[in-house]
Chains A and B, each alone.
Chain A
Amino acid sequence: MALARYLLRRLVLSVFVVLGVTMLVFTVAQVVPSDPAALYAGPRPTAALIAKARETLHLDAPLPERFLTFAHAMATADFGVSYKSRRAISQDLAVYLPATLELAIFSTGLALLIGIPSGVIAAARRGGLLDRLGGLSSIVAVAMPTFFLAMLLQGVFCQWLGLLPLSGRIGKEFSVIDPVPFVTGFMLIDTALAARFDAFRDAMAHLILPGLTLAAYPAGVAMRLTRSAMIEILERRHILAARALGLSEARILFGHALPNAVGPALTVIGLSFAYALTGAVLVEIVFAWPGLGRYVSEAILSKDFPVIAAAALVVTLCYVAMNLILDMVQALVDPRVALT
């Protein structure tokens, strides 16, 4: 009951976040010193062409009316066309968004799976060899620039060991020679739907290196946070009580202490998910990943406003959804969260 109320409250809050972002994106577009009509009119605009563009884009309508039109278009996922390429933005997003989401979700999962258990083990072996090794690797993971880590991983796993593909989302044999049909845009899902397990394995192999690269930072931070939270919790009386009741060390660490300690790590991983959506441009470039980051940075450089607006909104929605999920997980793990 308390949980449902808590989630409802978060949901209402999220609606305001989305509304606020919509308004912000619109406002920014108004104050940026650039004329959309001139951009829309093409590389060699004449006065007549600009005037025509102004009319097509309704730029002369009053501001509130234009905001409503804009908000309505966003709400109905009608993002318009790119000023630059004249392609429908929703068409572009259908390709780039799944690619980015697949990578972001995969790397977030990796960060959870690597960061949290290693933090638990480091806390359990405090001061021991594993703890020191973990501490060192977490510092390396956090401090190393992502593009450098990306190149390092490529060097080791492609060039040197030849275990994993260098870049791209899937090998040529599955994208050109015998293509897997496009359904959701998520390679793992599409290949699984087509029951092409060799293609699924190939798509997975392509995910590992960019996934690891993006996961390094959140995993390192999550490890440190989990470790320090665990060390504090392991001193608590209920852990002593659990030991006195004869529970196994593994159950005490993962079943009893971790649920008390996992909160901060989950928060950091949620934040890093937002970063993976658009901030991972360098990683996308190094791994030739056709993602949202590159799409948006190109749009920003050419002041392609409708693309920026659409991407900002979509990313906000993904981020809000991810945070709702994390809030729910936290409330399920720690019932006191829902009560405050």
Chain B
Amino acid sequence: MLEVRGLQVVINSDLQVVRKVDLSVPKGTIHGLIGESGCGKTMTGMAILGLLPKGAGLQAGTFTFEGTDLLSGAATLRGRRIALVSQDPAAALNPVLRVGRQMDDVLRTHSNVAKPARRAQAAALLAATGLPDPDRVLNAYPHQLSGGMQQRVVIAQALATGADFLIADEPTTALDVTVGAQVLALLRRLVAQRGLTILMITHDMDVVAEVCDRASVLYAGITVEEGPTEALLRAPRHPYTKALLAALPDARPKGQRLAALEGAIPPPRQIIQGCAFAPRCPMAMPVCATPPPRRTEGERFWLCHLEARDA
């Protein structure tokens, strides 16, 4: 459904926020996009939505959504086929407009239905996201709702566009753990019931493990590893993926210091010659100063000089 090869986003012609992202998201799946802050996850999402900031330059080998070239036509799909489920729902809803009005604005943009019918549609969409008493929610202002309810409203808005591809940018980061789990279950259900496809942007490995069918690991704006979630988490191939998994709190026995990854990601201005991760990699070799080869194994690939058996 979504095919991205060699996506590159440069801001003001010297900030390389996305260097080389590869993504392939088949219909009806949830694809995780993992990485630490500043690695280009959100920018990749914005590029797909055609919402890059001013002064951003976009290049890609392949950048298509079901046959539409997103290099030129992203804006035509935004809010029609592709919608955003924003992080921090409290900030993503307009504080001075009632939920009903915000739902209605979306519905009226995308259909010619009369107003009373739109209200019924809005109520049905809210109900579909598991909100009890949709009529009360429609009359409420966002600050009168809890975080979980707000996130459901944001999801209902995304559904109201009629989009079948959602970009969920850290949808659970601002929520309680239990509420976040409910929202993830909701997204999973929507994929099953409505045939949605979701690109899940997150830095949370638990979210990936819970709902994603496949996942890509981003480092410094480069897809360093991609594959089915289970294989990726059980047997990571790229040293960076390994380091990420080792840094999870429950990967260590109780009482030991948590594993932290030394160093920082290269700044966006830096031009990367060889492997982007080499300066922080515990297994770095002299050869890592040259661009790493793309290795494949079944449905997964990674970029590393190490042979699979050494890794």
Minimal Cβ-Cβ distance residue in B for A251: B105
Kindly identify which residue among B88, B110, B154 contacts A246, using a CB–CB cutoff of 8 Å.
B110
Kindly identify which residue among B80, B94, B143 contacts A242, using a CB–CB cutoff of 8 Å.
B94
Given A259-B96, A260-B95, A333-B96, the answer on whether A243 and B109 have CB atoms closer than 8 Å is: no
Q: Which chain B residues lie closer than 8 Å to A334 at the CB level?
A: 95-96
Contact A237 B86 (CB under 8 A): yes
Contact A246 B161 (CB under 8 A): yes
Contact A244 B94 (CB under 8 A): no
Minimal Cβ-Cβ distance residue in A for B87: A237
Kindly identify which residue among B83, B91, B143 contacts A244, using a CB–CB cutoff of 8 Å.
B83
Contact B83 A245 (CB under 8 A): yes
> How many of chain A's residues touch chain B, expressed as a range?
20 to 34
CB distance from B43 to the nearest CB of A (A): 13
Bound form: Cα–Cα A247–B96 in Å? 17
Contact A238 B78 (CB under 8 A): no
Kindly identify which residue among B51, B106, B161 contacts A240, using a CB–CB cutoff of 8 Å.
B51
Contact A244 B110 (CB under 8 A): no
CB distance from B53 to the nearest CB of A (A): 10
Bound form: Cα–Cα A335–B80 in Å? 31
CB distance from B88 to the nearest CB of A (A): 7
Contact B96 A245 (CB under 8 A): no
Q: Is A76 an interface residue (CB 8 A)?
A: no
Q: Kindly name the residue among A236, A237, A244, A336 whose own CB sees the greatest number of chain B CB atoms within 10 A.
A: A244
Q: Is A248 an interface residue (CB 8 A)?
A: yes
Contact B106 A245 (CB under 8 A): yes
Looking at chain B's contact residues, the main secondary structure is: mixed
Bound form: Cα–Cα A237–B78 in Å? 16
Given A244-B86, A245-B158, A246-B79, the answer on whether A238 and B93 have CB atoms closer than 8 Å is: yes
Binary interface encoding of chain A residues 251-280 relative to chain B, with 1 for a CB under 8 A from any of its CBs, else 0:
100011001100000000000000000000
Given A245-B157, A259-B97, the answer on whether A240 and B143 have CB atoms closer than 8 Å is: no
Bound form: Cα–Cα A222–B139 in Å? 31
Q: Which chain A residues lie closer than 8 Å to B86 at the CB level?
A: 237, 240-241, 244
Q: Is B301 an interface residue (CB 8 A)?
A: no
Q: Kindly name the residue among A242, A246, A333 whose own CB sees the greatest number of chain B CB atoms within 10 A.
A: A246
Binary interface encoding of chain A residues 296-340 relative to chain B, with 1 for a CB under 8 A from any of its CBs, else 0:
000000000000000000000000000000000000011110000
Q: Kindly name the residue among B49, B93, B97 whose own CB sees the greatest number of chain A CB atoms within 10 A.
A: B97
Contact A335 B161 (CB under 8 A): no
Q: Kindly name the residue among A236, A247, A333, A334 whose own CB sees the greatest number of chain B CB atoms within 10 A.
A: A247
Contact B94 A245 (CB under 8 A): no
Given A244-B51, A245-B157, the answer on whether A238 and B109 have CB atoms closer than 8 Å is: no
Minimal Cβ-Cβ distance residue in B for A257: B94
Given A240-B86, A246-B109, the answer on whether A260 and B78 have CB atoms closer than 8 Å is: no
Q: Which chain A residues lie closer than 8 Å to B92 at the CB level?
A: 237-238, 241
Q: Which chain A residues lie closer than 8 Å to B143 at the CB level?
A: 336
* Interface positions of B from 121 to 178, Cβ below 8 Å from A: 141, 143, 154, 157-158, 160-161
Contact B141 A247 (CB under 8 A): no
Bound form: Cα–Cα A260–B97 in Å? 9
CB distance from A243 to the nearest CB of B (A): 6
CB distance from A247 to the nearest CB of B (A): 5
Q: Which chain B residues lie closer than 8 Å to A238 at the CB level?
A: 91-95
Contact B154 A244 (CB under 8 A): no
Q: Is B218 an interface residue (CB 8 A)?
A: no
Given A240-B51, A251-B109, the answer on whether A245 and B161 have CB atoms closer than 8 Å is: yes
Minimal Cβ-Cβ distance residue in B for A246: B79
Q: Which chain A residues lie closer than 8 Å to B160 at the CB level?
A: 245
Q: Is B84 an interface residue (CB 8 A)?
A: yes
Bound form: Cα–Cα A236–B88 in Å? 12
Bound form: Cα–Cα A264–B74 in Å? 37
Minimal Cβ-Cβ distance residue in A for B76: A246
Minimal Cβ-Cβ distance residue in A for B84: A244
Contact B94 A256 (CB under 8 A): yes
Q: Which chain A residues lie closer than 8 Å to B158 at the CB level?
A: 245
Binary interface encoding of chain B residues 53-85 relative to chain A, with 1 for a CB under 8 A from any of its CBs, else 0:
000000000000000000000000011100110
Bound form: Cα–Cα A74–B263 in Å? 78
Q: Kindly name the residue among B49, B79, B157 whose own CB sees the greatest number of chain A CB atoms within 10 A.
A: B79
6 nearest A-B residue pairs (beta carbon): A246-B79, A244-B84, A237-B91, A241-B92, A259-B96, A238-B94
Point out residues on B near A: beta carbons under 8 Å.
49, 51, 78-80, 83-84, 86, 88, 91-97, 105-106, 109-110, 141, 143, 154, 157-158, 160-161
Can you offer 29 A-B residue contacts whose CB atoms are under 8 A? A236-B91, A237-B88, A237-B91, A237-B92, A238-B92, A238-B94, A238-B95, A240-B84, A241-B84, A241-B86, A242-B105, A243-B51, A243-B78, A243-B79, A244-B49, A244-B51, A244-B78, A245-B79, A245-B83, A245-B84, A245-B109, A246-B80, A246-B109, A246-B161, A251-B109, A255-B105, A256-B105, A259-B94, A260-B94
